[in-house]
Amino acid sequence: MLDLVSPFSGKISVLIRYCLIAKKLEGCGKNLYIGRGVALKSIGKIVVGDNVSIHESCYIDAVGGLRIGSNVSIAHQTSILTFNHTWADPNLPIKYNPIELSPVEIDDDVWIGCGVRVMPGIVIGKRAVVAAGSVVTRDVPPATVVAGVPAKVIKRLV
């Protein structure tokens, strides 16, 4: 896991975080911003497009695979998960049961508000907006605004 907790927030710190991360990602476009305190698990399974910002204190576990398109903004304290726990074997404690991998895909031109939870297996369509505090449990159609727990379409964009 790469945990980018840093007491520094200046341009030099941003550059250092970029240099540390860009080489470890499966794929990395141009102009990636990573804020302070971002935790990235399974970083080698993440593909990032151009002009992506992942703001402070986000938690991303990409063990199941994660693709982030271009022109995407992920606001602070967002969590993205790519696996589910199972409980199929009653002879094992739940915590020791196997996990199910489910990749997440975030298409181009997406804005994810602060404190959002994106659950495993989700596709967020192009030009979508996810309102702050939402829990995304279903795919998000392109050109929509979703909000709530669970997130539901509240508006269609032009």
| pLDDT score at 5 | 46
Distance of alpha carbon 107 from alpha carbon 44, whole angstroms: 19
CATH for 2-156 is: 2.160.10.10
The pLDDT of residue 25 is 82
Q: How far is residue 94's CA from residue 98's CA, in Å, rounded to a whole number?
A: 9
pLDDT for res 143: 99
Question: In which residue ranges of the chain is pLDDT below 70?
Answer: 1-11, 13-14, 17
13-52 residue pLDDT tens: 667 767 777 778 888 899 999 998 999 999 999 999 999 9
**How far, in Å, CA of 129 to CA of 147, rounded?**
9
Q: Which residue among the candidates 24, 30, 85, 152 is catalytic per the annotation?
A: 85
76 is catalytic: no
pLDDT at 104: 99
Strands annotated E in 49-119: 52-54, 59-61, 66-68, 72-74, 79-81, 83-85, 99-101, 104-106, 111-112, 117-118
Side-chain-side CA neighbours of residue 60 (13 Å) = 31
